[in-house]
Amino acid sequence: MTSSIHIGTAPDSWGVWYPNDPQQPPYDRFLDEVRDAGYEWIELGPYGYLPTDPNQLADELGSRGLRLTAGTMFTSFHRGASESWDAAWAEAQQIGKLISALGAEHVVVLPEMWGEPEFTNPALRTPGTEQWNNLRELHNRLGRALQEEFGLAQQFHSHAESQIGTYRELNRFLNETDPRYVSVCLDTGHLAYYGGDSVRLIKEHPDRIGYLHLKQVDQDLLFDVLKNGVTFADAVPQGIMTEPPRGVPDFEPILDAAAGLGRDLFAIVEQDMYPLPSFDTPFPIAERTRKHILSCSVRATAS
């Protein structure tokens, strides 16, 4: 059995990392350019960038023929419930109320990044026993709460410079969490950041793949970044996440493997670009990337 891969995009591909930042394009420009580039599906991005009133957001999307796939949030669950749960659940409720009202079914959940000045602290790079226990228990708790209160699926997103970034870490996370409450947003670029193989993940955990983020890494730059300890935030403006098909991994085998899972999936283009060189930068890249992805698989569709 094969499935369709519905291609969309995200505010991240327009250099949007924060709810409000003068270095980011206004949301109406973002929405106009998404439409003009030929996409129909988008993610919410950081809560507060797009309108948070469901009626206003529905009008903004509907007038452009756009539809919403998911919300996005960060958590710091490795720190334990007493430090992290209340803030995470408060944000999840805001996102859940908004996106479920617009018909979205997913929340992409990312682990806290090291960041500066914590970047040099090895203890924060790989979870210890207590941190693994916290990650397992709280992601299970969050997934169950999202499902029961809003009918939403948690899609866990491994990330460069976070508690879970390598293939082994993500594999362990999947083996230790409850498949009823934790699925994976397979981000092809972030998995490749540490040499992970997206096709292997799909084959080894076919039932846990619930969502895709499509991006590519500039491999030549990546080795310099890793060798010299360049932070992810500093690597992004250097172009670490590059325009397809200039980087790795190749999308065609990933899309083919995903199409073989027997269910429809969203595949969201998410090319980290912060800060933008210019507000004119994202649109032509978005157009070219959409055309490239659609050329990679007969199962990829823009609708």
- How far apart CA 261 and CA 297 sit, in angstroms, is 14
Residues 6 or more apart whose CB falls under 8 angstroms from that of 10 comprise 42, 43, 45, 72, 213, 268, 269, 270
Instruction: Answer whether the bond into residue 117 is a cis peptide, omega within 30°.
Output: yes
Residue 59 in tokens = 């009008």
List the CATH number of the domain containing 51.
3.20.20.150
Neighbour count for residue 126 (Cβ, 10 Å): 14
Could you identify the residue written with the tokens 């992004």? 236
Per-residue burial over 43-54, b = 16 or more CB atoms within 10 Å of its CB, e = otherwise: bbbbbebbbeee
What pLDDT is attached to residue 120? 55
- Torsion sign, CA atoms 200, 202, 207, 212: positive
In tens digits, the chain (303 residues) has pLDDT values of 568 999 999 999 999 999 999 999 999 999 999 999 999 999 999 999 999 999 999 999 999 999 999 999 999 999 999 999 999 999 999 999 999 999 999 999 999 987 655 545 555 678 899 999 999 999 999 999 999 999 999 999 999 999 999 999 999 999 999 999 999 999 999 999 999 999 999 999 999 999 999 999 999 999 999 999 899 999 999 999 999 999 999 999 999 999 999 999 999 999 999 999 999 999 999 999 999 999 999 889 988
Determine whether 207 is exposed, middle or buried from the number of CB atoms within 10 Å of its CB (0-12, 13-18, 19+).
Answer: exposed
Q: How many domains does the chain have?
A: 1
Domain that holds residue 89: 5-301
> What pLDDT is stored for residue 1 in this prediction?
57
